[in-house]
Structure formats: C-alpha cells, structure tokens
Amino acid sequence: LRRSVALRARVLRDGAEREVPAGDLVPGDVVLLRAGDLVPADGVLLEARDLFVNQAILTGESFPAEKHAGAPASPTATPAEAANALFLGTSVLSGTARLLVCRTGRATMLGHVARELAHRPLPTAFEAGIRRYGIMILRLTVLLVLLVVLVNALSGRALIDSLLFALALAVGLTPELLPMVTTVTLARGALRLSRRRVIVKRLAALHDLGAMDVLCTDKTGTLTEARVEVARAIDADGRESARVLALAWLNSHFETGLRSPLDEAILACGGVDAAGWQKLDEVPFDFERRRVSVLVGRGDELLLLVKGAPEHVLDRASHCETAAGLRDVDEAMRERLRRSFASLSAEGFRAIAVAYRREPPGHRSAALSDEAELVFVGYVAFVDPPKACAADAIATLAARGVAVKILTGDNEEVTRHLCARLGLAVEGTLTGEQLSRLSDEALRARLDGTTLFCRLTPQQKTRVITALRRAGRTVGFLGDGINDAPALQAADIGISVDSAAAVAREAAALILLEHDLMPVHEAVEEGRRTFENVLKYVLMGTSSNFGNMFSMAGAALVLPFLPMRPAQILLNNLLYDLSETALPFDRVDAQAIARPERWDIGFVRRFMLVIGPVSSLFDFIAFFLLLRVFGAGEALFQSGWFVESLVTQALVVFVIRTRGPALASRPHPLLAGMVLLAVAVAVALPYSGAGAWFGLVPLPWPVLAAMAGLAAAYLGVVEVVKRLFWSRAARIGSGP
C-alpha cells in the first residue's frame, strides 16, 4: 500500500504553486491535478474541467468515473457515487482539477483498507473445528484417566502400576497421528492442485474449501475480463448498424488528447477505412457539453461527427436516420430514442450516442455553435464481457452445494445483466446505502435471500462476509484488487489470481495462476477429499479406538489383574497408528464430496456414542470367552485381548472409511497393505521371541479361531450399525 501511494503533489500555499511530498499534505491544502496524476489524499473538488478518474483501486470497476465540483455527497456515498470527491490512490485519466484536502494518510479510504488488514480475522472453520475436537478429546481423556486412577487406588493396587496404566491409557486415547494425517493429506491435495496451476499458500485453507458453502465474488476482473469492449451498435430503429460504429470510429480516430477506454474499445473494432478522410478541426470534450465533435472531410463531403452522453447529444438533434429516411426528432421520436437508451442501460450496457451534421463546402473550422441541428444515427453500447469459463464454473459450484453471491462496487443494473448472462438466479439485492442503514441482526436476516450486493465500499464487503460467517456459513471470497484485500482476509478462504494487486495476493490463501475459474471447483473437490480422509481418522479414533480404551478402563475395574500391560497398550497403539498412516492416500467416494463438508463436533460425538459401544460390547464378549470359556490366566488373557483389540481396530477402517457398503468401495492398495500388515504382525507377535519381551504368550488355536470369528462378527455388526447411522443422518440433515 505504501508503494502504491508514494508520490509528490502540486499544491497552492501562500498564493503560490509548489511541489511537496504527498506525506506532507494536511487537511485544508489545495492540490492541483491534471491527466496522469495520482490523487495524493481524500478531498472534495473545488474546480473540475473534463475530469475523468480511474477508481479501480477502490471500486474494482474498469470504466472511468466522471467527476465535477458540486454539492457534497452523502456521508454514506461510495467512491462510485461521490461525484464531487476524489480519493487517495486513484488516478486522473483526463482533465484538470483543484482538490481541497479533507483526509490524509490512515484517515483516508485507502487507509481504512490498510487498517482492516491489520485486524485479526475470525478463526476459520477448520481452526474452530480442530479446537473443538481437541477440547472434546481432552475432556474425555482426563475424565477416564482420573476415574481409572481413583478406582485402582481404592482397590489397593500399587500406585506406580496404576499411574503407568493410566498414562498408557491416555496415550491410547490421544489422536497423536492427527497432525501427520492432516498435514500429509493437505500437502498431497496442494501438490495435486499445483499441477492444475493453483497455488495453496496456507495448507489449512484446503479444509476450509471443502467446508465452503458460500462463495462471495467481486465482479470486475473475476467474473468479467476487466476491459471495455463494444457489445452493440444500433440505429434509431434499434437495428444493428455498421454505419453507427463507422462514424463513431472516425470520431475516435481523429480525436486528439488522452483517449478514454471507450475510444480504445471503438478503435479496437477496426474494419473502417479512414483513407481519404482528413481532420479539419475539433471541439474537445468538456463537462458541461459532455460530447466531443470532430470536423472531417473527404473530397467535397464535410461532416461534423459528434459522440457523447446520449441526453446531451439528443438535445442537439433535429433529425434522425431511420429505415424510411431522415425523420424530424419531435417529442414522440425523442421519447422513443430515450426509451431505447434506457433499454440498453437496463440490459447492463453503457452507451454513447452518435450524430453528425453536414457542413457546406469551404467550412474549415468547428465551433460550439455548430453542434446544432444534428442528425442522430444511433448508439454504441459497451460492456465488460464475462469470462468464458464463468458461467460453467458458477453452475458447477451450485451443483456442488456452493451458493454464489456477488459483492461489487458497480450498480445493480449492470450486475443483474451480468448475472443473466452467467445463468445466476438473482433472489434479492442490497446496495451499499441500504446496507449502511441495517443493524448486524437485520443484515443477518437478509443474507440468505440476497444474491447481489452492489455499490459496496471495501469495508462493507468485509461486513457482509463477517455477517455470513457469524451466521454459521463457511465463506470464500474471490477478488483481485486492493479494495478486495480486507474481504480476502476476513473470509474463511481468500482466493485471488496471479495478476492481482500485491496486497490482494498477500491476503489470499489460494492463488489461481490462470484466468480460469474452473480450478476453483477443482479446489473445492480437493478440499472435500482432504477433509473426508481426515474425518476417517477422527471417526476411527472416536469410535473403535475409544471403545477399546473404554473396555480397557472397565476391565481394569473388575479384573484382579490389568487387562493389558502398559507396554502392551503402547505397542497396540503403535501398530494401530502404523496401520492408519496410509489414510492420506486413500480413495474417496463420489458421494462423500457431493456437498460441503465441515467440522461438526456434535456429529462426531454421536458417531462415537453409536459405534463405540459396539466395540466395547465385542470386547466384553472377548473377555467372557477368554475368562469363562477358555479359563485364561493373566498372560493368556492379555495376549488374546491384545490380538482381538488390534485386529478389530485395524480392520474396521474398511467399514468406516465409506458411507456405503464396505465391499462396494475399494480402498487404496497402500492403505489395505498397511492394515493387513499390522494385523499380521499382531497375530504373529505372540508366537515370536519379540512377543515375550512384552509379556505376550502364544495363543492356542481354539482361542485364535474364537478371536478371528469375533472380529468377523464385529465387522458385520459395525457395517449394519454404520449404514443405519448414515441413513438416519441423511434423513434429518445431520452430518459433517
């Protein structure tokens, strides 16, 4: 921001003109401006002549804004609406002005943008979800460990044994693999996106993308090409007309001075032969007339070509060209031509009028008085065209459950027309002025029913995004200008493009290297894949793993010996963790990424309370078989349950990893290999010399067969319970 506004200014002080550093300006200074100058402060215009400025740094709009001295604007006016004011960082395209400085430095509108960037944003959906999950795990672990220590102490067991057992239990309950699973999953997702020319600056942003259910986007430069092009040229009858465009082209071709973007768009059309035409004179544009006239000649033909603001050209027209020939411009015809202009505006076009006047031979100069009794020929309409990929990207996001809202500094008519071209249904609109009158509660009530937010300041964009987040939505914002930087930072996930302003790129978490919006949809899908694989680990840890730990704690309360030694618990936990290390590489079902995914601790808790007891039930069945059927002593009991608990914990991933039938969803070969390897080690360990180090003894074949049958029955029951759980969750709209 400092580099953007490092400049010097010409000021009037003590009646003399002098040049000073912009940083030395104070309220009350009078600044002199001309074409090419950067505006050094916020202020109101004392004088303005033919003044057009580029305000894209604040509004994002590519069309030049016309400015003039006049009555003060409303305090709530946006830069686009404040026709008598200039703002720090904007640039003068044409004309001259005298500006009375009102605000400098951090008090300016651009300074407000800088202050917004200094604010600490709300925690993202991912950060808040991880924090809630960590608190839930901590509470359960502390509660269970304290209970085990207390009961063992009351039972008269050695304190050191009780403490070691409790600590091992705490390790078993801790999801220590979560950071690794999360980081590897995110890193793989970021790597895949980089191949699609998308750079992920903040890895956690991928999870937020998966949870995103609202995408707010700027209009200019994101949904549109951020350039002006000729859309139509129509005559007085409303028909497409090459003659209208040809006359406008000659006017722009021979016009002197700094060409506006509209002139550049007209000249880009080409196709007009200027050979033989000669410029004789010109009446430059000024604010009062709002038109420019060029006198050209070819042989004996002399034409005064006029183009400008429709109302100001129509006022000077006495005739118009129609299919039936020249017609007088009476009140009825004048009203008809005005309606034609209004229709173009309603369709989102910006238009200028074109007219001419034939001059007699020998007429070699042009004057203001010549701009009379003009022949009106038609309108040239301009548009900032939508990106070719924008419509498909919006439709694809909508199909994936992501609502799109437009936050722009432009007016409602232009934005509505763009939405129509993109196929985006408009449910409601809010302007910046209306927004400024709403309380935060009233704004939240309007959010769901509003698609367009028009004439917004950078601060108002941030306010809309913050309100959406406080309403429980996960919000992305797509923007590329300095004015978008606060909104990019305020969103859960800020998305920008490689050609964006440096401040916008810095504030964004995701950078698109191509001017194509389809990678946004691909990034959303990648985010959902990463979330789904992390969720698998979380659901595993809070169901099967917690079930086993609860069983262990319960058994410790009633058995005359520890159900598993501390070293065995740690070994069990290590092998289980190794089996889960391939989860970041697992495949994800299409059903799981069809809708936005977000952290829902209530859902995780319900899953734990449904699947966890199933795990504990089968553990207690294993206890019964080992004690009552096989009469196992301490070593055999611990060895049998070591095998049963690890086999069930590891194999259940094949059931929990998918919401559909386990046999219909193929896991990644690496995951399948790691799980089966952990199971093989668990079964073989009691028969090896290494098993003796941990107090494990060989299992008789009947015991091993019973444990295998129990594991198979457990997987079948979990499959049925899981299907019922997901079915009910879908019916009541509950889920991550």
Q: Catalytic amino acids?
A: 218
Q: Can you name the residues that pair with 34 across neighbouring β-strands?
A: 96
Residue 234 in tokens: 């129509």
DSSP 265: H
CA-CA distance, 189 to 184, in Å (whole number)? 9
CA-CA distance, 449 to 20, in Å (whole number)? 50
The dihedral of CA 656, 657, 660, 665: what is its sign? negative
CA-CA distance, 144 to 138, in Å (whole number)? 10
Element (H or E) spanning 338, and its range?
helix 331-346
- One-character DSSP codes across 663-702: GGSPPPHHHHHHHHHHHHHHHHGGGSHHHHHTT--PPPHH
DSSP 313: H
The dihedral of CA 597, 492, 477, 525: what is its sign? negative
Nearby residues of 175 by Cβ (< 8 Å), 6 or more positions away: 137, 537, 538, 541
Query: Amino acid identity of 46?
Result: L
CA neighbours closer than 13 Å in the CB half-sphere of residue 347 = 15
CA neighbours closer than 13 Å in the CB half-sphere of residue 44 = 11
- CB-CB contact of 373 with 357 (8 Å): yes
At 497, phi and psi to the nearest 5? Answer: -120, 160
CA-CA distance, 533 to 607, in Å (whole number)? 16
CA-CA distance, 303 to 690, in Å (whole number)? 103
Q: CA dihedral defined by 78, 84, 89, 92, rounded to 10 degrees?
A: 130
At 240, phi and psi to the nearest 5? Answer: -60, 135
Q: Return the number of other C-beta atoms located less than 10 Å from residue 141's C-beta.
A: 19
For 496-536, what is the HEC assignment? EECCCCHHHHHHCCEEECCCCCHHHHHHHHHHHHHHHHHHH
At 260, phi and psi to the nearest 5? Answer: -80, 165
Q: Can you name the residues that pair with 603 across neighbouring β-strands?
A: none
Q: Is 54 left (phi over 0), alpha (psi -120 to 50) or beta?
A: beta
Chain centroid to CA 475: 6
Query: Amino acid identity of 23?
Result: G
Q: Identify the CA nearest to 378 among candidates 359, 355, 361.
A: 355
- CB-CB contact of 117 with 503 (8 Å): yes
CA-CA distance, 125 to 415, in Å (whole number)? 30
CA-CA distance, 372 to 366, in Å (whole number)? 12
Q: Where are the alpha helices (DSSP H) in 81-235?
A: 109-118, 125-154, 159-173, 178-194, 205-211
